[in-house]
Amino acid sequence: MDTIANSVSKLLTLFLTVLFVGSELTHCNVTYDRKSLLINGQRRILISGSIHYPRSTPEMWEDLIWKAKHGGLDVIDTYVFWDVHEPSPGNYDFEGRYDLVRFIKTVQKVGLYANLRIGPYVCAEWNFGGIPVWLKYVPGVSFRTDNEPFKAAMQGFTQKIVQMMKSEKLFQSQGGPIILSQIENEYGPESRGAAGRAYVNWAASMAVGLGTGVPWVMCKENDAPDPVINSCNGFYCDDFSPNKPYKPSMWTETWSGWFTEFGGPIHQRPVEDLSFAVARFIQKGGSYVNYYMYHGGTNFGRSAGGPFITTSYDYDAPIDEYGLIRQPKYSHLKELHKAIKRCEHALVSLDPTVLSLGTLLQAHVFSSGTGTCAAFLANYNAQSAATVTFNNRHYDLPPWSISILPDCKIDVFNTAKVRVQPSQVKMLPVKPKLFSWESYDEDLSSLAESSRITAPGLLEQLNVTRDTSDYLWYITSVDISSSESFLRGGQKPSINVQSAGHAVHVFVNGQFSGSAFGTREQRSCTYNGPVDLRAGANKIALLSVTVGLQNVGRHYETWEAGITGPVLLHGLDQGQKDLTWNKWSYKVGLRGEAMNLVSPNGVSSVDWVQESQATQSRSQLKWYKAYFDAPGGKEPLALDLESMGKGQVWINGQSIGRYWMAYAKGDCNSCTYSGTFRPVKCQLGCGQPTQRWYHVPRSWLKPTKNLIVVFEELGGNPWKISLVKRVAHTPAVHGQ
Q: What is the CATH number of the domain that holds 619?
A: 2.60.120
What is the predicted pLDDT for the residue at 231?
94
655 lies in some domain: yes
Question: Is 247 a member of any domain?
Answer: no
Would you say residue 229 lies in a domain? yes
Where residue 457 sits, what CATH number does that domain have?
Answer: 2.60.120.260
Q: Examine the pLDDT at 47 and tell me if it is beyond 70.
A: yes
As to burial, measured by CB atoms within 10 angstroms (0-12 exposed, 13-18 middle, 19+ buried), residue 665 is middle
* Closest alpha carbon to 268 in 695, 726, 691, 680: 680
Contacts for 260 with CB less than 8 Å, ≥ 6 apart: 266, 267, 309, 310, 312, 314, 690, 691
Instruction: Residue 488: count other Cβ atoms within 10 Å of its Cβ.
Output: 8
Mean pLDDT of 607-628: 85
Contact 55, 307 (CB under 8 A): no
**SS3 state at 226:** coil
Q: Mark whether 119 and 222 lie in a shared domain.
A: yes
Q: Are 226 and 209 within one domain?
A: yes
Map residue 104 onto helix, strand or coil. Answer: helix
Report the pLDDT averaged over residues 106-119.
98
Burial profile 433-453: b = 16 or more Cβ within 10 angstroms, e = fewer = ebbebebbbbebeebbeebee
CB burial of 93-127 (b: ≥16 within 10 Å; e: otherwise) equals eeeebbbbebbbbbbbebebbbbbbbbbbbbbbbb
> What's the CA gap between 521 and 84, in Å, rounded?
26
Catalytic residue, candidates 86, 253, 272, 713: 253
**Residue 448's pLDDT is what?**
66
Asked if residue 38 has pLDDT above 50, the reply is: yes
pLDDT of residue 672: 94
Query: Which region among 118-132, 179-193, 367-381, 665-679 has the lowest average model confidence (pLDDT)?
Result: 179-193
Q: Which residue has the higher pLDDT, 141 or 190?
A: 141
Per residue in 386-407, pLDDT tens?
Answer: 999 999 999 999 999 999 999 9
pLDDT at residue 434 is higher than 60? yes
Q: Which of 209-213, 341-345, 485-489, 727-731 has the lowest mean pLDDT?
A: 727-731
Q: DSSP assignment of 383-419, as one string?
A: S--EEEEETTEEEEE-SSEEEEETTSS---EETT---
Q: Please count the structural domains in the chain.
A: 4
As a whole number of angstroms, the distance between CA 426 and CA 728 comes to: 6
| Residues 610, 534 within the same domain | no
pLDDT for the residue numbered 732: 67
pLDDT value, residue 618: 73
Residues 622 and 708 in one domain: yes
Residue 375 has a pLDDT of 98
600-611 mean pLDDT? 90
41 neighbors 29 (Cβ within 8 angstroms):
no
Does residue 269 sit within a domain? no
Q: Kindly tell me if the per-residue pLDDT of 627 is higher than 60.
A: yes
Degrees, nearest 5: CA angle 431-437-438: 160
Residues in the chain: 736
d(CA 378, CA 411) in angstroms, rounded, equals 12
Supply the pTM of this predicted model: 0.94
Is the model's pLDDT at 16 over the cut of 60?
Answer: no
Strand order in 361-367's β-sheet?
Answer: 353-358, 361-367, 373-379, 401-405, 413-414
482 and 363 in a common domain: no
Residue-wise pLDDT tens digits, 265-284: 999 999 999 999 999 999 99
Domain that holds residue 411: 328-419
Q: Is residue 9 pLDDT above 50, yes or no?
A: no
Q: In terms of domains, do 400 and 471 share one?
A: no
116 strand-pairing partners: 78, 181
DSSP class per residue in 158-224: HHHHHHHHHHTT-BGGGTSSEEEEEEEES--GGGTHHHHHHHHHHHHHHHHTT--SS-EEEET-TTP
3-state secondary structure 718-730: HHHCEEEEEEEEC
In this predicted structure, the answer to whether residue 550 has a pLDDT above a threshold of 50 is yes
**DSSP H helix total and E strand total for the chain:** 12, 40
Q: Taking the chain, what is the end-to-end CA distance rounded to the nearest angstrom?
A: 42
Partners of 353 in the β-ladder: 365
CA neighbours closer than 13 Å in the CB half-sphere of residue 661: 16
Judgement on whether residues 571 and 642 belong to the same structural domain of the protein: no
pLDDT for position 2: 42
| Cβ(365)–Cβ(355) below 8 Å | yes
- Position 7 confidence tier, pLDDT thresholds 50, 70, 90: very low
d(CA 88, CA 485): 54
Q: What are the Cα distances from residue 84, in Å, to 132, 207, 380? A: 8, 21, 44
Instruction: Give mean pLDDT, residues 501-514.
Output: 94
Q: What is the CATH number of the domain that holds 45?
A: 3.20.20.80
Please answer whether residues 515 and 621 qualify as being in contact, where contact means their C-beta atoms are separated by less than 8 angstroms: no
Confidence of residue 238 (pLDDT cuts 50, 70, 90): confident
What integer is the mean pLDDT of 423-430?
A: 93
Q: Tell which of 419, 454, 474 closes a domain.
A: 419
Q: Are 547 and 660 in contact (CB under 8 A)?
A: yes
Residue 143, pLDDT above cutoff 90: yes
Beta bridge partners of 727: 426
Buried b (16+ CB within 10 A) or exposed e, 513-527: bbbbbbbbeebbbeb
Distance CA 208, CA 4 (A): 52
Q: Residue 27 — pLDDT band, cuts 50, 70, 90?
A: low
Q: Convert the pLDDT of each residue in 312-328 to its tens digit.
A: 999 999 999 999 999 99
Contacts of 352 (CB under 8 A, 6+ apart): 283, 284, 285, 364, 365, 366, 376
Nearest-angstrom CA–CA distance, 26 and 461: 52
Number of Cβ within a 10 Å radius of residue 728: 16
702 φ, ψ (degrees, to nearest 5): -100, 165
pLDDT of residue 187: 84
Distance between CA atoms of residues 721 and 429, nearest Å: 10
Query: At residue 12, does pLDDT exceed 70?
Result: no
Q: Collect all residues with Cβ–Cβ distance below 8 Å to 353 and sequence separation of at least 6.
A: 364, 365, 366, 367
> Residue 305's CB: how many other CB atoms inside 10 A?
26
Average pLDDT score, the chain: 92
- Rounded to whole angstroms, the Cα distance separating 81 from 95 reads 13
- 89-103, 269-283, 368-382: lowest mean pLDDT where? 368-382
Are residues 434 and 398 part of one domain? no
- Whether 250 maps to a domain, the answer reads no
186 labelled catalytic: yes
Looking at the fold, whether 568 and 504 belong to one and the same domain comes out as yes
Residue 307 CA: distances (Å) to CA of 313, 524, 659: 14, 11, 13
Does 7 reside within a domain? no
Q: Are residues 561 and 627 in the same domain?
A: no
Task: Average the pLDDT over 217-235 and give the result.
Answer: 92
- Of 384, 419, 454, which residue is a domain's last? 419
Asked whether the predicted pLDDT for residue 221 surpasses 90, the reply is no
Per-residue pLDDT band for 191 (boundaries 50, 70, 90) equals low
Strands (E), 398-533: 401-405, 413-414, 424-429, 438-441, 453-456, 471-480, 494-499, 503-508, 511-517, 525-530
Say if 542 falls within a structural domain: yes
Among 125, 184, 186, 261, which one carries the catalytic annotation?
186
Q: Is the pLDDT of residue 23 over 50?
A: no
Average pLDDT over residues 71-79: 98
Residues 357 and 403 in one domain: yes
Q: Which residues contact 670 (CB under 8 A, 6 or more apart)?
A: none
Residue 20 has pLDDT above 50, yes or no: no
Considering the domain architecture, whether residues 120 and 190 belong to the same structural domain is answered as yes
DSSP 483-496: T-GGGGT-PPPEEE
Asked if 650 and 656 touch (Cβ cutoff 8 Å), the reply is yes
* Ranges 116-120, 258-262, 583-587, 603-607: which has the least confidence: 603-607
Q: What pLDDT score does 684 carry?
A: 95
Neighbours of 510 (CB within 10 A): 11
Could you tell me which of 115, 415, 417 has the C-alpha nearest to residue 283? Answer: 415
Q: Is 321 inside a domain boundary?
A: no
CATH number at residue 393: 2.60.40
Whether residue 142 is predicted with pLDDT greater than 50 in this model: the reply is yes
The answer on pLDDT for 50 being more than 90 is: yes
Comparing CA positions, the residue from 112, 76, 74, 72 lying closest to residue 335 is 72
Q: Around 598, how many Cα atoms within 13 Å sit in the side-chain half-sphere?
A: 19
In whole angstroms, give the CA distance from residue 314 to residue 260. Answer: 8
pLDDT score, position 522: 77
Contacts of 679 (CB under 8 A, 6+ apart): 258, 267
Question: Among residues 538, 559, 589, which one ends one of the domains?
Answer: 589
| Neighbour count for residue 26 (Cβ, 10 Å) | 12
